[in-house]
Structure 1
Amino acid sequence: MAIRRLLKALAVLVAFAISLLGCRDQRALTPGDTNEIRNLVQKAQRKHVRESYGELAYQCFTEQDYQAFDREQRAHSISSNLKANRKFMEAVLSLQQKSPADRALLINDLRHPLRPSWAQLGQVSKEGQTEAGRRAELDIANAVADLVSQLCELSPGEISNVFNQR
């Protein structure tokens, strides 16, 4: 008898958990912190472009790594996935409310790699990046900046629709 009740309770719990999987955050977007855009760009650059600290292939982001990154269109994929990020979309809403000059300034400020190249530093170190890694970081930054620019052309309602279609 106790086992039957336990199985019934477990079945209800599993059904509830499954129903939650289909639930999305339906709260309305509200303007957020525009600095979040830069934070998310840098987070993506760190995540998708391996830190380079030496010249051997396993120690750095190589040209082969970049070719795969480019072929798989990872920068586009990264930026596209941000459409489902509440903080990102709320930051875009906030940016949209700024003057066109302020928007352009912030968007252009996004278009930078995370780290300088080893050539710029004049040494091989983890503070810098290979040329291939720098290109990948720049690709991510430009893809996100392009997306932000496109989203700022939409109305707040259209931005919410983009977020809710994820």
Structure 2
Amino acid sequence: MSNGTQTRTRQQRVAAVELPPGVWKSIWSNLQKGRVLLRLALCAATALFLWGFNRSWDPPFAYNLGDIPERDLMARVGFSQPDPEATSEARQRARRFAVGVYDQNPEALVQLRAQLRSEIGKLAAAETFDDVDGALWASFQPSTAPGTPDPTTEQQVEQFNRL
């Protein structure tokens, strides 16, 4: 329990206040602790290990990607003339083992169907064989076997009438 009758002077009150230690004194007291010294020793050992592992004492590599040296360099492997036969053989081998990739474009098929319908419509609209364009009729005819004669006009008229 506090006794309120006791009064202290200003000097007594100021003399009772203790200031915390300074920055340097707190650093020195922390450095004297064992666990801090152990951590500092581990950091120093790790730094030395990395310095030795990376061979930091060697100068940096003289050539970097994209650098052009100012002097001629000697090649370790001799260069030879191109071999067209081996090149073409390697290309053929690459073509044989290449995987085919197909890109189906339906637009070309739609256009082909429309053109075919148009041409068949022209053939169907003709009343007689004489009204049919010769090139259009020939485009629908199958190719003949070698040595067989071309169909005569009468045969073509008969085929048209069957159509």
Relative contact order: is structure 1 or structure 2 higher (C-alpha 8 Å, sep ≥ 6)?
A: 1
- Tell me the TM-score normalized by structure 2: 0.22
Report which of the two has the higher share of helix: 1
- Tell me the TM-score normalized by structure 1: 0.22
